[in-house]
Chain A
């Protein structure tokens, strides 16, 4: 058995996102939702004080259609600690160019949005919850590393 799976969902608060959250709930996967509507939201999330960093994700699910995936992956992949977190980009359609683009952004994988999240998440959870060893992401590591790159990120996300 590997370390705990805790998932950060990034995108818009749509019925589809709620269906995904419901599926995770039914499989007992801890998760939290983060809106990507404002550019500063994710940056602010990872730069909170240590006392607020109660939920440190070991996997991120990013909605390609509403989650600004290119920007968010660029931010994560430049970070010395957060870059370890696997990021699954999901979206409508399965166009080969779109699939390749997601991998070029640095996504761990691309997942076409399924018709039924509940059914699809059975395979997802069997793999990511039972089989995969996940990276260690400590809030203090994230914060100390973030402090070093704050200036850079503030300019990028302003």
Chain B
């Protein structure tokens, strides 16, 4: 039996999480969205899922554990090091962008300013990562 695909999102901002979830509702079919509000929350939730998320949307600016630290932990863990990680940040600073790629991010997408833009960005993101690319999400690790 085929498992439902999962998309994971980590963001500490309630407003951003709301916009992301609403945007996903428009473009997802059967995929489930796993929401985490911090890096620690994500790592804890990943322990409970049976398949790797098809991709992870990762905010950078978070208290306690930054997005860069989360990315470093994921890339150092053999259970999660193949999972596509897409940085989703308000930062447009080139050093942040370069650092994200150096640490192994699969791409870097700037957060939009309006809900309409959220919808179109999330639609493009889903069209590429769920319909054009293939990901290692079928890997069972429990």
Contact = CB atoms under 8 A, between A and B. Distances in A.
A131 interface: yes
A130 B124 contact: yes
Contacts, number: 85
Contact of A127 (B92, B110, B128, B138): B128
A3 to B, nearest CB: 8
A108 interface: yes
Interface stretch (B28-36, B63-71, B129-137): B129-137
A109 B124 contact: no
B44 interface: no
Interface residues of B, number: 27
A34 interface: no
Contacts of A4: none
A84 B135 contact: no
Nearest to B132: A123
Main SS class of interface, A: mixed
A2 B110 contact: yes
Contact of B107 (A100, A108, A126): A108
Given A86-B107, A100-B139, A131 B125 contact: yes
Sorted nearest first, the 7 A-B pairs with minimum C-beta distance are: A127-B128, A84-B101, A123-B127, A103-B82, A109-B133, A133-B108, A126-B124
Interface of A: 2, 83-86, 88, 94, 96, 99-100, 103-104, 108-112, 114, 120, 123-124, 126-128, 130-136
14 contacts: A83-B101, A84-B98, A84-B102, A85-B101, A99-B135, A108-B106, A123-B131, A124-B132, A126-B127, A126-B128, A127-B132, A131-B110, A132-B107, A134-B108
